[in-house]
Amino acid sequence: MKRSSVTVAGVFGVVLIATTAAAQTTQATAANYVIGQGWVKYLAPGDGHGLKWYRFGVFAGRSYCLENVPSDFLSDPADTFSVVQRGTSGGGAQLGFNDQMNTEPGAITAATGVTQPSRVCWVAPATEDEFAYLFTQEAGVSFERKFRIVDTTLFSPWFFSASGFEAFILIKNTTAQAIIAYVTLYSATGVALGAQSASVPANGSYNLQVSAAPPSGFSLNSHSGTVQIAHTGANGALFASVTSLNFSSGVSFDAPVSPRLDGQQ
C-alpha cells in the first residue's frame, strides 16, 4: 500500500524547532517556523488521518519555496504531499500544492516504492502569516520526514537610468519549465517605483529596459535605486544581472543580483 504524507504551508508561516518537531494537529495550535531556519525533522503520524500544522510569516511580493523530503538516510517509500495555505487574513485560500517534486532543480519522476519528495513555490500576496500541515493516510505506520521553507527572492543593490545612462535587467531561466518573474524597482529610500511581470520561457530569458515603456520597461528616465525579483521557481531557477551603461561615453557597470542567503539554506 502506498503511504503518503502531506506538508502544508500557509500564509501563516510555520515555525518549527531545529530538532524533530512535535507539530500540532489544528491550525489554531500550529507550531512556529521562521523563514531561513533551515531543515526541520517531523514525525508523520500513523493514525490514518493525522494533520500537523506549522505557521510562518511572509512579506508581500517576495517569493518562497516549501520543500518536503525524506529524513537523512531514510528509504521509507512513503509519498509526500505539500500544501501552502493562507491564514485568517487571506480567508484560508490555498496558494499551491504538490504531490511530487517534478520541477527543476532536482526533479524526480514517479517510481513505485521510491520516496517521493515534494515542493511548492509561490509569491506571497500580502504581508501575513501562512500555514503548512502534514498528513498520512496509512494507519499504524509513522515515519520521519524533514522540510524547510526558503526565501527565493532575488535582490540587486543598484540601477541607474539618468544622465545618459540606460539600465537593463537581464533574467535567465535555468530550468526546463516556464517561470513567472515579478520585477519591482525601488528608490534608494525604499519607495516602490514600478513593477513588471512576465512568464520566462523554459531555458529562455526575460529582459527589461528601465526607460522603455511597459511591458518591456518602466518608463523611468531619471531614476536610480534597487531591484527585487520574485518568482515561482525554486532556488537557482532564475539567474539575473543589472547593467547600467552610457552608449555615448562607453561607460558601464554591473550590479550583482543574489538571493538572501543564510547558513541554514
Length, in residues, of the chain: 265
Whether the CB-CB separation of 140 and 117 falls below 8 Å is answered with: no
Whether the CB-CB separation of 182 and 251 falls below 8 Å is answered with: no
Q: What integer pLDDT is reported at residue 137 of this predicted model? A: 52
pLDDT at 1 over 60: no
Q: What integer pLDDT is reported at residue 23 of this predicted model? A: 45
Residues 56 and 14: their CA atoms lie apart, in Å, by 4
**The domain defined by 154-259 carries CATH number 1.10.3470:** no
Q: What integer pLDDT is reported at residue 96 of this predicted model? A: 79
What integer is the mean pLDDT of 174-203?
A: 96
The CATH class of 4-151 is mainly beta
What integer is the mean pLDDT of 80-86?
A: 83
Q: What integer pLDDT is reported at residue 74 of this predicted model? A: 61
Q: What integer pLDDT is reported at residue 188 of this predicted model? A: 95
SS3 label, residue 249: coil
Whether the CB-CB separation of 16 and 105 falls below 8 Å is answered with: no
Question: At 144, which helix (H) or strand (E)?
Answer: strand 143-151
Q: What integer pLDDT is reported at residue 42 of this predicted model? A: 79
Residues 188 and 226: their CA atoms lie apart, in Å, by 7
Cell 517556523 belongs to: 33
| pTM of this structure | 0.85
The model's pLDDT over 3-21, given as tens digits with 9 standing for 90+, comes to 444 555 544 444 433 344 4
The model's pLDDT over 148-175, given as tens digits with 9 standing for 90+, comes to 999 999 999 999 998 889 999 999 999 9
What integer is the mean pLDDT of 41-49?
A: 65
> Average pLDDT, whole number, for the chain?
82
The model's pLDDT over 115-126, given as tens digits with 9 standing for 90+, comes to 677 889 999 999
Q: What integer pLDDT is reported at residue 263 of this predicted model? A: 53
Domain boundaries, the chain: 4-151, 154-259
CA distances from 193 to 75, 133, 228, 244 (A): 50, 37, 11, 17
The model's pLDDT over 198-239, given as tens digits with 9 standing for 90+, comes to 999 999 999 999 999 999 999 999 999 999 999 999 999 999
